[in-house]
């Protein structure tokens, strides 16, 4: 914007939010202590400029560049652009007052979103009926409006609503919780069960399988409930079923009550080691604490393939070792629902919860698509840059830690065999350990002892 000597605006120019670039001196700080903020600018030349013609008394366009050097933000992510994230004075005053009265910022944000029509910004009509028929009608309506919405229910012998997949009310609430591509908790489904039996779990899992278009589960983490374990074995026989390490540790405390044993048990449970090393440490631990005849220990050992990292390392669990993500989601849901809610009220509350989770995912998508991390490792022109392009920011941060560790590894020995080469890898300041990497020349396949 330019003004004349009288202070009147004569020229106005708008540029893209990705105009310009960060100064090079801020990208190459030798003594950087904090992680650099992601890059948001990439020399985009898109611009629009107007100037005031005093003779005609009108504004005249003098520049128009509509070509961007980047992919434009999708319509669903426009709300995350800086130019649209503005708060009115009234909303700011209201939020400040709520904060002074003890409301948490996250709850204030949710309340303001609710008052504005929800995270989808669409106001819904209040449902007046409160019985089960209204509940099912609401689910039917949602399926009609959203073909991707799925529900199923059963009726008992007296014609009453018995089991409902996706939403629950006044009965055991079952959650299907996992991680999305930003490593955040996401809800795949809710379920209402009349009882927690094996038959009900089988119905639930088969219904969930149908909702997922027959997509079989790769991995599952549960607390070890016997009925659920049998149901999983029936419906998902090929899935890798892992027992929650947090529940195992809690059971250990209840059955053994020895902090020293708990520490030793966590070592064999969470650390990867070869089969013979696991067996040696297990026998050593059992002998040390005199637990050879302990029945709980015998059952624990019989199920070792479901909890020991030694036997689970080959399976993909997205970094999950416990179902604490599900427990955290339970605590989160308790903020939204209560035992006295009507069915339709419960559905509305859960829908708002899902909307909030979708909003956070869209916000993370926007951050990942519209920013680029500052590359600083010795592999920045190869692996680091490729990883920054492919992965979301959260996943990249995990890969980045591995890339930094790469500089500490070195080849201590190399041997050639028929059709393969064997490399022995060691790490600085950890020379007592080594890893073997085998390169198969026929199919250019690498096999490492840390993974298999």
Burial class (CB in 10 A: 0-12, 13-18, 19+), 388: buried
Q: Is the pLDDT of residue 119 over 70?
A: no
pLDDT digits (tens, 9 = 90+) for 346-404: 777 777 888 888 889 999 999 998 898 888 877 777 788 888 989 999 999 988 888 88
Judged by average pLDDT, the poorest of 86-90, 304-308, 328-332, 389-393 is 328-332
Judged by average pLDDT, the poorest of 70-74, 76-80, 178-182, 324-328 is 324-328
327 vs 330: CA distance, rounded Å: 5
Q: Is the pLDDT of residue 109 over 90?
A: no
Instruction: State the DSSP string of 135-152.
Output: HHHHHHHHHHH-TT---E
pLDDT digits (tens, 9 = 90+) for 421-434: 999 998 887 777 78
pLDDT digits (tens, 9 = 90+) for 35-86: 788 888 889 999 999 999 988 889 999 999 999 999 898 887 888 888 887 8
Question: What global pTM score does this model have?
Answer: 0.69
Domain ranges of the chain: 2-72, 132-243+322-362, 261-312, 380-448
pLDDT digits (tens, 9 = 90+) for 334-347: 776 665 666 667 77
- Phi, then psi, of 436 in degrees rounded to 5: -110, 130
Of the ranges 73-77, 158-162, 183-187, 298-302, which is most confident?
A: 298-302
Q: Is the pLDDT of residue 451 over 60?
A: no
362-365 long-range contacts (CB < 8 A, ≥24 apart) are 362/76, 362/77, 362/80, 363/80, 364/182, 364/184, 364/392, 364/393, 364/394, 365/77, 365/182, 365/392
Cα-based angle 273, 278, 283 (whole degrees, multiple of 5): 160
The pLDDT confidence band at residue 124, using thresholds 50, 70 and 90, is: very low
* Alpha-carbon distances, residue 399 vs 185, 394, 437 (angstroms): 20, 9, 20
Tell me the sheet residues that pair with 155: 161
CATH number for the domain running over 132-243+322-362: 3.30.420
Q: What confidence score (pLDDT) does residue 446 get?
A: 86
Q: Do 140 and 153 contact (CB within 8 A), yes or no? A: no
* Alpha-carbon distances, residue 436 vs 272, 381, 402 (angstroms): 15, 27, 18
Residues 6+ away with beta carbon under 8 Å from 408: 427, 428, 429
Tokens of residue 83, six digits = 């130019």
- Closest alpha carbon to 173 in 348, 334, 320: 334
The pLDDT confidence band at residue 150, using thresholds 50, 70 and 90, is: low
109 vs 103: CA distance, rounded Å: 10
Residues 6+ away with beta carbon under 8 Å from 421: 414, 415, 438, 439, 441
Terminus-to-terminus CA distance in the chain, angstroms?
Answer: 62
Q: Is the pLDDT of residue 443 over 80?
A: yes
- Closest alpha carbon to 138 in 164, 111, 171, 174: 164
272 vs 134: CA distance, rounded Å: 52
List strand residue ranges (DSSP E) for 166-269, in order. Answer: 173-179, 185-192, 219-222, 240-243
Tell me the sheet residues that pair with 178: 186
Looking only at the bridges linking them, the beta strands covering 434-440 and 445-448 are antiparallel
Q: Do 163 and 204 contact (CB within 8 A), yes or no? A: yes
Q: Do 189 and 166 contact (CB within 8 A), yes or no? A: yes
- Phi, then psi, of 325 in degrees rounded to 5: -60, -40
Q: Kindly state the average pLDDT of the residues 132-139.
A: 64
Q: Do 278 and 301 contact (CB within 8 A), yes or no? A: no
- Between 124 and 4, the more confident residue is 4
Tell me the sheet residues that pair with 186: 178
């Amino acid at each position: 914007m330019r003004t004349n000597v009288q202070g009147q605006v004569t020229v106005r120019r708008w540029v893209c939010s990705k105009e310009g670039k960060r100064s090079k001196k801020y990208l190459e700080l030798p003594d950087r202590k904090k992680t650099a903020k992601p890059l948001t600018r990439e020399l985009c030349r898109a611009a629009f400029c107007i100037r005031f013609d005093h003779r005609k008394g009108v504004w005249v366009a003098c520049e128009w560049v509509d070509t961007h050097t980047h992919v434009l933000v999708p319509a669903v992510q426009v709300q995350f652009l800086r130019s649209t994230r503005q708060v009115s004075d009234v909303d700011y005053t209201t939020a400040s007052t709520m904060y002074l009265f003890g409301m948490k910022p996250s709850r204030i944000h949710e309340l303001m979103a609710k008052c504005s029509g929800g995270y989808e910004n669409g106001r819904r009509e209040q449902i007046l009926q409160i019985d089960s028929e209204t509940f099912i009608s609401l689910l039917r309506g949602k399926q009609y409006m959203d073909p991707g919405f799925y529900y199923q229910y059963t009726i008992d012998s007296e014609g009453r609503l018995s089991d409902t997949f996706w939403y629950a009310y006044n009965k055991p609430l079952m959650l299907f919780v996992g991680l999305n591509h930003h490593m955040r908790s996401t809800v795949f489904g809710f379920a209402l069960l009349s009882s927690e039996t094996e038959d009900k779990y089988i119905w639930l899992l088969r219904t969930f399988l149908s909702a997922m278009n027959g997509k079989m589960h790769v991995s599952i983490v549960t607390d070890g409930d016997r009925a659920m374990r049998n149901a999983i074995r029936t419906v998902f026989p090929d899935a890798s079923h892992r027992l929650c390490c947090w529940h195992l540790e809690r059971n250990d405390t209840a059955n053994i009550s020895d902090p020293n044993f708990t520490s030793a048990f966590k070592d064999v449970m969470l650390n990867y080691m070869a089969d013979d090393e696991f067996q040696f440490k297990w026998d050593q631990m059992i002998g040390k604490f005199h637990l050879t005849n302990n029945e709980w220990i015998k059952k624990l050992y019989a199920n070792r393939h479901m909890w020991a990292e030694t036997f689970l390392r080959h399976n993909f669990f997205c970094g999950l070792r416990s179902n604490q993500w599900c427990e955290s989601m339970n605590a989160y849901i308790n903020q939204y629902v209560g035992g006295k809610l009507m069915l339709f009220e419960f559905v509305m509350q859960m829908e708002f919860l899902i909307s909030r989770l979708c909003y956070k995912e869209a916000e993370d998508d926007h951050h990942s698509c519209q920013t680029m991390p500052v590359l600083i490792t010795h592999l920045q022109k190869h692996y680091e840059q490729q990883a920054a392009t492919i992965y979301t920011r959260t996943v990249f941060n995990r890969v980045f830690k591995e890339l930094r560790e790469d500089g500490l590894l070195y080849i201590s020995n190399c041997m050639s065999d028929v059709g393969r080469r064997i490399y022995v890898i060691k790490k600085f300041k950890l020379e007592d350990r080594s890893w073997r990497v085998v390169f198969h020349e026929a199919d250019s396949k690498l096999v490492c002892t840390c993974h298999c």
